[in-house]
Structure 1
């Protein structure tokens, strides 16, 4: 079990074979966060805010039987292309990191296979894999946008 826990932590933090969310969003010029190149339907801001909302929802679902998920899909995606200000961006980035750390605490402390009492068969292992998969998917989209904007290494 310890090996699985350590592998999950690595997958959630560093992305494993993929770029981490943290690395994908580092050093993006603020004025480019709302750009939607080549008619793409979303901006970097919208993707990052979506990652924040979805990850927060999975964390809260995993620990709180009274949690109410946002309405899909409207409340999982921001309407605006760009953050209102630098503080909004910083707050979103910080919450992604804080929520990920809180979820990793659940991975370390809970039985990964025990069904979540208020769920319909979900467990911490499933939620960890879902967070990792979801974040990797949207991280790849962020990197594509960065490449299109000429701001990826």
Structure 2
């Protein structure tokens, strides 16, 4: 592996995990009172729960696409968004948070083990690099929405 590719992987891992220029998903969803996960202040179209579950589903879909030729993506948009603004219970919320972390760790392992630039054989021109950038971009976009909701609810730190 070239020095440039090694450096790129280090930077991609930072981008995917948060903590550099952006808040990461862990920080964005830590210490949210369960009873506020379903709130949609000021007529916003999504709750923190819906945004977090959407991040989980989308990240999982990109991970599975990247490593599994037999993977079938959910139908858009209904397969990517939970209908209910509130998680069923605390266990459902905790499972979503855990799966986001586990799938991100698995994607980072894939990032470290595969050729970043090689076209994914069952795709239409995608590469692991493209999928990494798409996961990071998509997640950052929705993390910003989560933070806005937290600010509106008075549960963000600054």
TM-score range with shorter-chain normalisation?
Answer: over 0.9
The Cα of 1:16 is off from its aligned counterpart by 3.0
Native 8 Å contact 1:33 1:45 kept in 2: yes
| Equivalent residue number for residue 139 of structure 1 | 143
Structure 1 runs of 4+ with >4 Å offset: none
Distance, in Å, in 2 between the alignment partners of 1:71 and 1:17 is 33
Matched, 1:69 2:73: yes
> What is the total number of aligned residue pairs between the two structures?
153
Unaligned runs of 5+ in 2: none
Unaligned runs of 5+ in 1: none
The Cα of 1:15 is off from its aligned counterpart by 5.0
| Equivalent residue number for residue 95 of structure 2 | 91
Q: Deviations over 1:8-40 (max 9, x none)?
A: 011101253110011000000000000000000
Q: Output the aligned Cα RMSD.
A: 0.6
| Equivalent residue number for residue 33 of structure 2 | 29
Q: Deviations over 1:62-83 (max 9, x none)?
A: 0000000000001100000100
Matches within 5 A, 1:1-153: 1-153=5-157
Moved more, 108-117 or 15-24: 15-24
Distance, in Å, in 2 between the alignment partners of 1:107 and 1:75 is 26
What TM-score do the two structures reach when normalised by structure 2? 0.96
